[in-house]
């Protein structure tokens, strides 16, 4: 479950369905890619569908790069950049994408005449996704900061900033290889410090009793705890509940003996805010040594990753 996002203002219709054009654009670009590749090669030669697609994307990138180098102010520069981005995404080559997206953004109209469907759906969202996958989070964060500043005075600036914050939330989440610094006094009065549990495999679980998916997944967490507790597995719960009594009853009824952080602030929960949590359940599996080894595990995947992190014990 995610935070509710305020509906766009009626006079901001350009913001509606910001990513709807992205899927249509990619399909259109795939067809253009085919046409371009045929024009370049005069024929289609490959052993299978993947080979054909890969060859076409590689040829398209090379041809468009040359075209833009020769024609840096081309009237169709935006389309060329869009097609290059789509080709890199098709190849799974995410590293060049953020810089290409920045070039697209620089060429877009700003202010009230801006095409927000294009900017948000075709530039902002891919920037976040490619920034995460290619480990260019800082570049993506800087871009979002600039984008929000550019549109701060837009009539729908508040809604735009809210949408961008929602889209970019995952940039601020801890990732594999990161450390999580968590220390608190649990509901039962025990002092918890994740930094002192580096000899354990620990599941950090952001959840709430009012979250349906969280409740549905909890039996799997309880089962994993019972199965691996003696092998060095622990769970730390971060509850986004408001009602302490209801939380304590749920914990007792569902036999959840692990420590729980609770401050009664719901989405303003201090640890959730610190780690940029905008949707729950959000789980992070911290391996021995204190670094995250996996996140958002469900069902059998949770069991498999715990056993792997424990060293197959």
Nearest to 181 by CA among 214, 208, 204: 204
pLDDT of residue 225: 97
The pair of structure tokens assigned to 23 is 């899927």
Q: Could you give the CA distance from residue 187 to residue 237 in angstroms, rounded to a whole number?
A: 10
Helix axes 137-150, 97-106, angle to 10 degrees: 10
Hey, is 203 helix, strand or coil? strand
Nearest to 154 by CA among 8, 305, 297, 306: 8
pLDDT of residue 216: 95
Q: Could you give the CA distance from residue 108 to residue 111 in angstroms, rounded to a whole number?
A: 10
Q: What is the residue extent of each domain of the chain?
A: 10-172, 183-309
pLDDT of residue 175: 82
pTM over 0.85: no
Q: What residues have CB less than 8 Å from 289, skipping those under 6 apart?
A: 198
Q: What residues have CB less than 8 Å from 93, skipping those under 6 apart?
A: none
Report residue 171: phi and psi, to 5°: -65, -25
pLDDT of residue 17: 39
pLDDT of residue 24: 46
* pLDDT one digit per residue (tens) for the chain, 313 residues: 655 434 333 333 344 333 334 444 454 455 455 554 444 444 445 567 778 888 889 999 999 999 999 999 999 999 999 999 999 998 889 999 999 999 999 999 998 999 999 999 999 999 999 998 887 988 999 999 999 999 999 999 999 998 998 898 888 888 888 899 999 999 999 999 999 999 999 999 999 999 999 999 999 999 999 999 999 999 999 999 999 999 999 999 999 999 999 999 999 999 998 888 888 999 999 999 999 999 889 889 999 999 999 986 4
| Overall fold of domain 183-309 | Glutaredoxin (3.40.30)
Hey, is 10 helix, strand or coil? helix
Q: Could you give the CA distance from residue 44 to residue 184 in angstroms, rounded to a whole number?
A: 62
Q: Is 141 exposed, middle or buried (0-12, 13-18, 19+ CB in 10 A)?
A: middle
pLDDT of residue 135: 79
pLDDT of residue 312: 61
pLDDT of residue 152: 94
């Amino acid at each position: 479950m995610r935070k509710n996002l305020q509906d766009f203002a009626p006079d901001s219709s350009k913001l509606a369905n910001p990513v709807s054009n992205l899927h249509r654009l990619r399909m259109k670009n795939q067809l253009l890619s085919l046409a371009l590749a045929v024009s370049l090669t005069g024929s289609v030669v490959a052993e299978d569908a993947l080979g054909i697609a890969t060859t076409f994307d590689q040829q398209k990138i090379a041809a468009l790069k040359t075209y833009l180098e020769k024609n840096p102010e081309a009237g169709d520069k935006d389309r060329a950049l869009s097609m290059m981005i789509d080709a890199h995404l098709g190849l799974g080559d995410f590293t060049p994408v953020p810089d290409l997206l920045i070039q697209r953004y620089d060429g877009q109209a700003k202010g009230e005449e801006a095409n927000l469907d294009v900017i948000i759906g075709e530039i902002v969202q891919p920037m976040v996704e490619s920034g995460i996958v290619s480990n260019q989070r800082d570049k993506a964060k800087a871009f979002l900061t600039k984008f929000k500043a550019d549109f701060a005075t837009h009539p729908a600036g508040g809604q735009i900033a809210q949408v961008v914050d929602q889209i970019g939330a995952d940039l601020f989440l801890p990732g594999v290889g990161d450390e999580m610094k968590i220390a608190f006094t649990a509901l039962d009065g025990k002092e918890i410090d994740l930094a002192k549990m580096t000899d354990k495999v620990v599941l950090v679980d952001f959840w709430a009793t009012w979250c349906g998916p969280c409740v549905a997944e909890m039996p799997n967490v309880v089962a994993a705890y019972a199965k691996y507790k003696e092998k060095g597995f622990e769970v730390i719960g971060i509850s986004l509940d408001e009602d302490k009594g209801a939380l304590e009853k749920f914990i007792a009824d569902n036999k959840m003996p692990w420590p729980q952080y609770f401050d009664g602030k719901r989405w303003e929960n201090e640890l959730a805010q610190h780690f940029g949590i905008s949707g729950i359940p959000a789980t992070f599996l911290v391996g021995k040594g204190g670094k995250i080894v996996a996140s958002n595990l469900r069902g059998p995947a949770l069991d498999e990753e715990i056993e792997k992190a424990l060293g197959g014990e």
